Structure 1
Amino acid sequence: MHDEFEAAFDTLLAGVCTPDAVRRIDAGGPTDALWQALHDSGFADALVPEAQGGAGLALRDVGPLVQACGRHALPLPFAETMLVRALFAQAGRSAPDGPLSLDAAADLLAADERRLLQAAIHSALIAGAGAQVLAMAIAHAQQRVQFGKPIGTFQAVQHQLAVMAEQACSARMAAQMAFAAEGIRPDRTLAAMAMSVAGEAAAVLAASAHAVHGAIGVTAEFDLQLYTRRLLAWRTAAGSPGHWAQQVARHWQAAGGPPAVDFVLAITARAAVL
């Protein structure tokens, strides 16, 4: 069921969130039509309990949806809207209309909880966009010919693609950790670790993708920049990777400062559901 659920959302985004649509919105165009399509689909209520008209899913179920938002460079706060609508439903209140930021739930979530949710969300957005720029770099390397050969046959380019694949995988695993929760609030340590890893991966993915594409990658008419601009913005939107690494260390210290190996084993056990 989950595969069909994710595929349906991905198909929806492929139809309504095209690169041209993203460009128009980035340039200040209206978002009404895009939001209406998302609203009418019902996906915004994925985390709302079934008794209140939603799908009754948990955070772990919607991680792939957030990654899809990154993969399509969705210029709306869809993940935040899902969470705010669920929080309002849990509180027995009606959520405001339209796309929502987590600040709309400021009276339901403390500032540090909102920031933690932002970290989880941005780790998944990075994972989605990272997968997209990797796919674009591979396609370009197969199609671009220099000296009579596709550039993908050159060892230096192959090395860059291998590094990108490694970082894209790291970001995806980080996002899965951040969205491992059974409820709608992420584990603090896992979310902090996820944003630290995904944030570092975002910088490498953006730089390597442009290295593979060369000068064309930075041009406004080429789609790559739609994703790399977001990767670089998302990596610090909830705090720098260093900030989140520091949070992991503080959680370790707060747990009594166990030996590093024990701490890693404990984290692994908590993420074993992945």
Structure 2
Amino acid sequence: MNMNNELDAAFSDLLAARCTPDVVRLIDSGNSAGTNTLWQHLEDSGFLDALVPEDQGGAGLALRDVLGLVQACGQHALPLPFAETMAARAVCALAGQAAPIGPVALDAVARWLPADTLRTLQATLNAGLIAGAGTRVLQLSLDHAQQRVQFGKPIGSFQAVQHQLAVMAEQASSARMAAQLAFSSFTHLPQPLLAAMAMTVAGEAANTLVSGSHAVHGAIGITAEYELQLYTRRLLAWRTAAGSPAYWSQQVAAHWLQAGGCDTVNFALHAFEQAAT
């Protein structure tokens, strides 16, 4: 197992133990004790300093190394801004500033990043969160389709449900690939074009995953006692938190025009060349 896999597995195990659906519901209800306890576990783990340079007490990782951490936040519906705080600490460290105490939104470091860069970073983090939550939503839907019986058969045996699940699987895969694209940077900041491409895809995938999962689950999916709504509410929030998919597709078009309106193949090569720099 390589270092990234070990890192991802350790963080996922931490969230599996400490960020259960019951804890998520507790924090969503405004319980400050639950918030403080979970945040202390995250603080003690050291993962929040993953992007901080080694000579400043961090792990010195780049965006490409922490995608698994951000996806795990989505997979466990983490109700605290771990990804944003991790990124904010890196921005502060590289600006020679002390990091804010406790959980923060990226707006807390707005003075040290241009507005467009800040928005692009938020979009990248959201793409990773969508990828993680999308994987979980798909699994919940597959499990439900195998367990729910109608007319003497699991509903997963019906062609209409199978089609819905197939579309969801395609979109979940698209979201994961989009996140990989956004997180391909060797620094703590993403490439604007790649982030725009990623959120265009991930944002649309989120919408399809939400509608598809609730169609498969029926009324039970929106009940407070059931897990699904913990994820779908967040998917809908993340898909527009830094701009709608339409906004990000416009940014892709702007980059295309800047590249001289080149053909699609050359434009794709241009995007991957940016990822390598």
Same fold at TM > 0.5 = yes
Task: Please report how far the alpha carbon of residue 268 of structure 1 lies from its aligned counterpart in structure 2 after TM superposition.
Answer: 4.4
Rounded to whole Å, the distance in 1 between the matches of 2:53 and 2:150 is: 56
Rounded to whole Å, the distance in 2 between the matches of 1:147 and 1:257 is: 55
State the one-letter code of the partner of 1:112. D
Matched, 1:201 2:235: no
State the one-letter code of the partner of 2:15. L
- Residue 145 of structure 2 corresponds to 141
- Residue 13 of structure 2 corresponds to 11
Task: Please report how far the alpha carbon of residue 149 of structure 1 lies from its aligned counterpart in structure 2 after TM superposition.
Answer: 1.2
Q: Deviations over 1:170-215 (max 9, x none)?
A: 0000000010000011011000010010000000000000111111
Q: Residue 21 of structure 1: which of 23, 26, 37 is its match?
A: 23
User: After the TM superposition, which residues 177-256 of structure 1 pair with which residues of structure 2 at under 5 Å, given as runs?
Assistant: 177-256=181-260
Any unmatched runs of 5+ in structure 1? none
Task: Please report how far the alpha carbon of residue 256 of structure 1 lies from its aligned counterpart in structure 2 after TM superposition.
Answer: 2.3
TM, length-normalised to structure 2 = 0.96
Q: Would you say the 8 A contact 2:191–2:275 is kept in 1?
A: no
- Please list every run of at least 4 consecutive aligned residues from structure 1 whose deviation after the TM superposition is greater than 4 angstroms: 268-273
- Higher mean displacement: 262-271 or 27-36: 262-271
State the one-letter code of the partner of 1:52. Q
- Residue 2 of structure 1 corresponds to 4
Rounded to whole Å, the distance in 1 between the matches of 2:276 and 2:171 is: 21
Q: Deviations over 1:8-54 (max 9, x none)?
A: 00000111111111111111111111110000000000001111111
Task: Please report how far the alpha carbon of residue 235 of structure 1 lies from its aligned counterpart in structure 2 after TM superposition.
Answer: 0.7
Task: Please report how far the alpha carbon of residue 270 of structure 1 lies from its aligned counterpart in structure 2 after TM superposition.
Answer: 4.6
Matched, 1:57 2:61: yes
Q: Residue 67 of structure 1: which of 52, 67, 71 is its match?
A: 71
Rounded to whole Å, the distance in 2 between the matches of 1:115 and 1:107 is: 13
Matched, 1:94 2:98: yes
Rounded to whole Å, the distance in 2 between the matches of 1:242 and 1:34 is: 35
Rounded to whole Å, the distance in 1 between the matches of 2:276 and 2:164 is: 31
Q: Would you say the 8 A contact 2:63–2:188 is kept in 1?
A: yes
Rounded to whole Å, the distance in 2 between the matches of 1:271 and 1:149 is: 48
RMSD: 1.3
State the one-letter code of the partner of 2:153. K
- Residue 153 of structure 1 corresponds to 157
Any unmatched runs of 5+ in structure 2? none
Q: Would you say the 8 A contact 2:185–2:275 is kept in 1?
A: no
% identical aligned pairs: 67
> How many residue pairs are counted as aligned between the two chains?
273
Rounded to whole Å, the distance in 2 between the matches of 1:126 and 1:113 is: 20
Matched, 1:167 2:165: no
- Residue 121 of structure 2 corresponds to 117
Task: Please report how far the alpha carbon of residue 264 of structure 1 lies from its aligned counterpart in structure 2 after TM superposition.
Answer: 2.4
Q: Residue 43 of structure 2: which of 39, 54, 57 is its match?
A: 39
State the one-letter code of the partner of 1:16. R
Q: Would you say the 8 A contact 2:193–2:252 is kept in 1?
A: yes
Task: Please report how far the alpha carbon of residue 265 of structure 1 lies from its aligned counterpart in structure 2 after TM superposition.
Answer: 3.1
Task: Please report how far the alpha carbon of residue 257 of structure 1 lies from its aligned counterpart in structure 2 after TM superposition.
Answer: 2.1
Q: Would you say the 8 A contact 2:185–2:276 is kept in 1?
A: no
Q: Would you say the 8 A contact 2:127–2:202 is kept in 1?
A: yes
Q: 1:272 to 1:164 in 2, by over 3 A?
A: farther
- Higher mean displacement: 85-94 or 73-82: 85-94
